[in-house]
Every structure is written in C-alpha cells, then in structure tokens.
Chains A and B, each alone.
Chain A
Amino acid sequence: MFAKLILIILAAGAIASSLLVLRQQKVETIHEISRAYQRQRVSEQTLWLLQAEIARRVRPEALNEKLRESELNWLPIPAIPVTLDQHAIAGAESLTNPGE
C-alpha cells in the first residue's frame, strides 16, 4: 500500500513536472514568436527604406541624367495602338505589333 502511495505521489510529481516543462516550452515559443515578429518588423522597415531609395534612384530626372551620361543615341519607339478592349484582355494574351 505504501509503495502504491509512493507511486501515486511520484506520478503526480512527474505530471506536474511535465506540465511545468510544457509551460516553459510555451513561454519560450511565445518569446521566440515575439522575437521573430520583431525581426519581421525590422525587415519590413528595411524594405520600406529600400523601396524609398529605389524610388529616389529611378525618378525621371535621375534616369534622364543616366541617359545623358550614356552618350547613346536613344530613339523613341512608336507605340502599338491599343484599344480599350485590348487593354482589358492584355493580361490574357500578348499583343503583337501590327506593323510586323
């Protein structure tokens, strides 16, 4: 009987320990999620900065400057006439140059 009682107490202790381990794991998981979230925020903010920098570098004035620096003879390309209906289906099928 005494042995059974000891067994019960040990089992209760083991269950309690397991619960504590699970709780600790939960806390660590939440902590890790929080850290991952913070890292994600930092990455997001870096991405925002990069987007702003890209926008600054491709502004028309900067592109014109690059074109001038390239000293190449750039020629305008005539546009392919596109009707409003073709605009709507442009995503589905590619348009071909009617001049070809």
Chain B
Amino acid sequence: MDHPVRHSDVDERHTSQSRRIVRWTGTYIALILLVFGVLIGRVVQLKLNPDPRLPKAVESSTSSRTELARRGHLLDRNGRVIATTTIGYRLFVDPKVVEDISTIASDLARLLRIDAVDIDKKIHKRIDSRYVVVANRLDDSQIDSIRDANIKGVGLEAIPIRHYPNDALAAGVVGLVGVEHTGLAGYEYLFDETLEPTHGKLTYLRDVRRQALWFDPEEYRPGSDGNDVRLSIDLVIQEIAESRLRQAVLEHNAGGARTVVIDVQTGEILAMADVLNPREGWDEFTSDPMRAKDPRLARNRCVTDPYEPGSTFKGFVWSVATEEGLADPDEILDTPDGVPHVTSKGRRIRDAFYYGKSTWRKVLIKSMNSGMAIVAERMSDQLMQSVVDRFGFGRKTYCGLPGESAGIVTSASKWSHYTQTSVAMGHEIAVTPLQMVRAFSVFARDGTIPSLRITAADPTNNEFRLEHRVLSEATVQLTRDVMRQVMTDGSGRKAQSLKYQLFGKSGTAQLPKKEGGGYHEDRYVSSFIAGAPYTNPRIVVVAIMDDPDKNFNGHYGGEISGPIARDIIDATLDYLGVPPDQPDYQGPIASAD
C-alpha cells in the first residue's frame, strides 16, 4: 500500500536541493575568483618585483642577429658586373665554451686542411675572448665539414664577400673593400656611401636546445641593399687598352705605360689603364709599395702622376697663336736649316730634323721646336699662361677621382723667357693623362672643353654639364686639319690606321731626374694623343710609354706610342660599331641585317 507523499516533504527536499546548488555555485565562483585573484597577484608581482633570475632566463631564450644586406654593384657603362657581393662564412671559436683547445685545434685543422699549430696559437693569443676568428672565407666543402662535425664552441658567421669577376681587369681603377666591407681604394672608396647597404635585424626565439624556433615579426627590421653605380668605364674597351699596353711594355722593355680613352661628346672616361713593368732601373721613378701588396691598392698614375707632354703640347699653343692672329698657317717662318735656332735672348733651340724655312702649318706637322719658339716670342707671357689655363692645365679636372694631381705649371712670378719658349714645346710643364685627353677633346668637339665624368651618362636625362668655349669652331677645324696632316706627312705616319682617319700629335720628352734636377740624356717619356674619326670624332686616346728601352724599338712617341693609340682607337671604334672612314678601306664588314 502506497503511502501518500506529503507536500511539505517535497517542498523541504526542493528547498534543500536549491540551497545545495547555491552553496556549490558560490563555492565554485569563489574558487574561480580566488584563482583569478592569485593569477592577477602573480602578474602584478612579476611586473613589479620579479625574481632576479627571471630576466636572464627570458633573455637567454631570444637572440638577435644581423641580416646582411648586399653592397651595391659596380657596373660598367653597359651593365656588366665589375664588383658584386655574395655571402661567405668565417669560422670562430669561443674559448670559454670549448672543452679542450688542443683537441679542437687538431679537429679543425683536419676539417679545414690548415695547420693545427696556427689555430692553437690564434686561440691562445685571445684566450679570454669569447670570439676568436680562426679562418676567413671558408669554401663550400669546409662549411659542410664544419656543420657536419657540430663541434661545441665552434661557430660559423655569415660575412659579405666582395667579388671582382674580371680579376685584374681595371683593378687599379676599381679598387677594393677592406675587412669591414667598406671601400679602401679606387671607385670602391669613392662611391662607398652610395654602395653601402643598411643591414637588417632579426630577433628570434630559441628552444631549450638553443635552436631557433621563429622570429618575432614585430622586432624584424628589414635591411636594404646598397645602390648600384654604373660607371663610365666600358670593360671591353678597358680590356683592349690594358692588353695593348701590356704587349707594348714588353715590346719596348718600358718602365711602364698609361692610357686614357674618353668619349669626346659626353666626357665619359671609357677606359683608363696603368701598367708597370718591374724592370730594373725604373722603380725609382714610381715608388708605389701598395701596388706590390695588391694591384687594387695601386696608385692610378693616370690621375696622380704628371708627366712632361713634350710636343703633344704644341697643338694647344699652335691653335691659340693662330686664333689670336699671331701667325697664319701659310706664313713662312725663318726656321733654320741644319743649325739650331737662336732666340732673341740667346737660347739655342734644336730640332730633331731641320727643314729650312717652313710654314706655320708645317711647324706643327713636322713638330719643329724652332718654329714654335719663333711664334712663342710673339706671344706675351700672359697669353702663353692663358693657353695653359684655358685648356685646364695646372688645375684638377675635378672628375671626382681620389688623389688627382693638378700637374706642375710654373707660376706667373717665376715665368721667364726660358719658360715661354719651353712651354711652347711642351717642356717645363707637367700634366696628367686625364688633363691631356680632356684638353685635346677641344679639337674633337666644337671648341668647347667638356667636364670629365666617371659615371655613365644617361642620354634621356638632360642633366646640366658645365662646358666652356676654348677656341672658335673655325680654329678647331683648322687645327684638326693640320693634325690630320701630322698623321699623313708628319711624326704620326707610323701610327696611321687603315680603317679610320686619325688626327693626333706625338711627343718625346726627356725623363726628368728624380733628384738633383735636370734631365736624363738618354731616357724618355714618349707619348701620342689622337682622336678619331676625323670627320665626326667619337673618342680621344692618349698613350704614354714611360722610359722605353731605346735599344729595343726606338723611343720616339710617333714610333712607339702612336701604334698603341692607333690600335686602341681601331679596336674601340670597331667595337662601338663606328663605320671605317678611310676612303681606301676594303676590309671585311658585315651588314646589319
């Protein structure tokens, strides 16, 4: 029999259940609040007063490293790479971490194939340091060996490596970078600021085994590569110039040779080469100890070392004297026949060959010192000094190359009758090859002198270039015409090109003594300067032979430097695709289609 359930019992049960739920709920909430309270308290404690060991532990789980950006390229005018950067590795040791230095040294010596004693010495020398570089620029197999060996306390560090793909080509011009990957010499030094990259920074988290887990995107600072520099140098023309100079130095057993090739319209230096021959008796004139250490550290003598131009200077004096009306090209001068000319002040002027009375035109064609002296005496000192000045001699070209010389010019206060007649023949003045090509380009242009440039010109960019007029167009045309005759009837006959009509001038100056003043009797600087093609000149080339051995193949500029200038002009114009302008040229030429 069922007992009836009383309402009061049911209510009592419900009430008891509700109380229990409320009690448990309250307990849970209290517990949760307690847990949160404890957590918040811990956070506050960690923030305000953390355990001193904590920051160290946190820091040790993250690392920062530099993300190497690339130094800018040095490019030639056509975008060929002259200098580029890749990433290489150097090996370092932490002496505090390695267990046994001798063992490490022998292990590394085996892996790197270098002397263990050297490694041991290097580590012991800086035993208190945490970073001892053992080897720079490891090759691929060495890197793999070190990584596979996984030796404690031995690490690999990424470093930028500068490459010069063209080896020694243009080495002295391009220069090099140092251990810190900054420019030390040449264009590398000159454009260091532009080429320099901004390295990035990366912070990454490491696990307990100190292996990288990931990097922190918020801490990432990207690097940016350095800017490229497009030089005015053309590697092909540079190669033409250098190989021809090397050949010539051997042919004439010369102490050295130099050449500069420029584009006459833009003033761009297309090639600049400087070759030295380690020949006995010459090094006294070119003390350049850095060249022996590294050819990239060599002094660029085309920029730094002036030379006496000799008769190549006559064209400048001839053109100004003609323009000023002091001599007419067809005027017959009283030049001597067989005996030296004596100036009004009693100075005896010798010619290499005597032609008797000659026209002013012939004076330049045959390079007659006597004729130049006669007209020099008609010129005032100030006018002769203005010849030097207006063609840019005696001051730098300011093309930006480091160490540039202004040359040597006698000051107005020391200017004498002797100076007046000497300068007219290209003596008692010293110029750099760079100054010479710039000045001579006046005859290849419309009478204006260009600013030289070492970076490639952009034909689409109408940038301002400073040019000033030196001669009238009529005088330029006349002088160029006479210097064309130098090639056909004068001292440039041996430098005639079969392909292109050249205009130029030779020069042979005695070599000045290093000490005590005066000149060597039988040692010379032989030079030749020329432009081509005659009708529409594109380039000017100067070739200088320093101290050629007279007993080999002569010493006159027209004989030994002329062919160098001609060969460089032929090959360069050929390469530039300039059609031959010699009327009789029947050589091979392909059609453009």
Residues of A within 8 A of B (CB): 1-2, 5, 27, 30-31, 33-34, 37, 41, 45, 48-49, 51-52, 55-56, 58-61, 64, 73, 75-80, 84, 87-88, 97, 99-100
Note all chain A residues with C-beta closer than 8 A to B214: 27, 30-31, 33-34
Choice from A48, A59, A79 contacting B87 with Cβ under 8 Å: A48
Asked whether A88 lies within 8 Å of B459 as measured between CB atoms, the reply is yes
**B70 located at the interface, meaning its Cβ lies under 8 Å from any Cβ of chain A in the complex:** yes
Note all chain B residues with C-beta closer than 8 A to A84: 459
* Given known A27-B214, A34-B215, contact A55–B80 (CB-CB < 8 A): yes
Asked whether A60 lies within 8 Å of B236 as measured between CB atoms, the reply is yes
A27 CA to B217 CA, complexed, in Å:
12
**B584 located at the interface, meaning its Cβ lies under 8 Å from any Cβ of chain A in the complex:** no
Asked whether B85 lies within 8 Å of A78 as measured between CB atoms, the reply is no
* Given known A55-B80, A97-B593, contact A45–B212 (CB-CB < 8 A): no
A52 CA to B204 CA, complexed, in Å:
31
**B58 located at the interface, meaning its Cβ lies under 8 Å from any Cβ of chain A in the complex:** no
Query: Contact string, B20-52, partner A, CB cutoff 8 A, digits 1/0?
Result: 010001001000000000000000000000000
Cβ contacts A to B, 30 pairs, < 8 Å: A1-B21, A27-B214, A33-B214, A37-B215, A45-B86, A48-B70, A48-B84, A52-B81, A52-B163, A55-B81, A56-B166, A58-B80, A59-B167, A60-B235, A60-B239, A61-B239, A76-B574, A76-B589, A77-B577, A77-B589, A78-B577, A78-B590, A78-B591, A79-B579, A80-B592, A87-B459, A87-B460, A88-B459, A99-B592, A100-B593
**B169 located at the interface, meaning its Cβ lies under 8 Å from any Cβ of chain A in the complex:** yes
Q: Which residue of chain B is the closest to A56 with respect to CB atoms?
A: B165
| Given A27-B214, A61-B167, A76-B574, 19 new contacts (CB under 8 A) | A2-B21, A30-B214, A34-B204, A34-B212, A34-B213, A34-B215, A45-B86, A45-B87, A48-B86, A55-B81, A58-B80, A59-B80, A75-B589, A76-B577, A77-B577, A78-B578, A78-B590, A87-B459, A100-B593
Q: Which residue of chain A is the closest to B236 with respect to CB atoms?
A: A60
A49 CA to B161 CA, complexed, in Å:
10
A52 CA to B71 CA, complexed, in Å:
13
A33 CA to B218 CA, complexed, in Å:
13
Q: Which residue of chain A is the closest to B238 with respect to CB atoms?
A: A60
- What distance in Å separates the Cβ of A91 from its nearest Cβ neighbour in chain B? 9
- What distance in Å separates the Cβ of B400 from its nearest Cβ neighbour in chain A? 24
**B290 located at the interface, meaning its Cβ lies under 8 Å from any Cβ of chain A in the complex:** no
- What distance in Å separates the Cβ of A68 from its nearest Cβ neighbour in chain B? 13
Residues of B within 8 A of A (CB): 21, 25, 28, 67, 70, 80-81, 84-87, 163, 165-167, 169, 204, 212-215, 217, 235-236, 238-239, 459-460, 574-579, 588-593
Q: Which residue of chain A is the closest to B266 with respect to CB atoms?
A: A84
- What distance in Å separates the Cβ of B373 from its nearest Cβ neighbour in chain A? 44
Choice from A55, A75, A87 contacting B84 with Cβ under 8 Å: A55
Note all chain B residues with C-beta closer than 8 A to A27: 214
Q: Which residue of chain A is the closest to B82 with respect to CB atoms?
A: A55
Choice from A30, A56, A78 contacting B579 with Cβ under 8 Å: A78
- What distance in Å separates the Cβ of A71 from its nearest Cβ neighbour in chain B? 16
Asked whether A48 lies within 8 Å of B85 as measured between CB atoms, the reply is yes
A-B contact count (CB 8 A): 98
Note all chain A residues with C-beta closer than 8 A to B588: 73, 75
Most buried by B among A27, A48, A87: A48
Note all chain A residues with C-beta closer than 8 A to B577: 76-79
- What distance in Å separates the Cβ of B519 from its nearest Cβ neighbour in chain A? 39
Asked whether B593 lies within 8 Å of A61 as measured between CB atoms, the reply is no
Asked whether A49 lies within 8 Å of B212 as measured between CB atoms, the reply is no
Note all chain A residues with C-beta closer than 8 A to B592: 77-78, 80, 97, 99-100
Asked whether B81 lies within 8 Å of A51 as measured between CB atoms, the reply is yes
- Which 4 pairs between the two chains have the least Cβ-Cβ distance? A79-B577, A55-B81, A75-B590, A55-B165
Note all chain B residues with C-beta closer than 8 A to A100: 592-593
Note all chain A residues with C-beta closer than 8 A to B165: 52, 55-56, 59
Note all chain B residues with C-beta closer than 8 A to A87: 459-460
- What distance in Å separates the Cβ of A96 from its nearest Cβ neighbour in chain B? 10
A2 CA to B86 CA, complexed, in Å:
69
A63 CA to B571 CA, complexed, in Å:
15
A35 CA to B167 CA, complexed, in Å:
36
A1 CA to B26 CA, complexed, in Å:
13
A66 CA to B236 CA, complexed, in Å:
15
- What distance in Å separates the Cβ of A51 from its nearest Cβ neighbour in chain B? 6
A1 CA to B20 CA, complexed, in Å:
11
Note all chain A residues with C-beta closer than 8 A to B239: 60-61, 64
- What distance in Å separates the Cβ of B215 from its nearest Cβ neighbour in chain A? 5
Asked whether B590 lies within 8 Å of A77 as measured between CB atoms, the reply is yes
A62 CA to B182 CA, complexed, in Å:
29
Q: Which residue of chain A is the closest to B81 with respect to CB atoms?
A: A55
A58 CA to B238 CA, complexed, in Å:
15
Asked whether B590 lies within 8 Å of A88 as measured between CB atoms, the reply is no
Asked whether A79 lies within 8 Å of B578 as measured between CB atoms, the reply is yes
A59 CA to B236 CA, complexed, in Å:
8
Note all chain B residues with C-beta closer than 8 A to A64: 239
* Given known A1-B21, A76-B589, A87-B459, contact A61–B166 (CB-CB < 8 A): yes
A5 CA to B29 CA, complexed, in Å:
11
- What distance in Å separates the Cβ of A57 from its nearest Cβ neighbour in chain B? 8
Note all chain B residues with C-beta closer than 8 A to A1: 21
Q: Which residue of chain A is the closest to B87 with respect to CB atoms?
A: A45
Note all chain A residues with C-beta closer than 8 A to B166: 55-56, 59-61
- What distance in Å separates the Cβ of A66 from its nearest Cβ neighbour in chain B? 14
Note all chain A residues with C-beta closer than 8 A to B579: 78-79
Note all chain B residues with C-beta closer than 8 A to A78: 577-579, 589-592
Choice from A30, A48, A56, A97 contacting B217 with Cβ under 8 Å: A30
- What distance in Å separates the Cβ of B58 from its nearest Cβ neighbour in chain A? 17
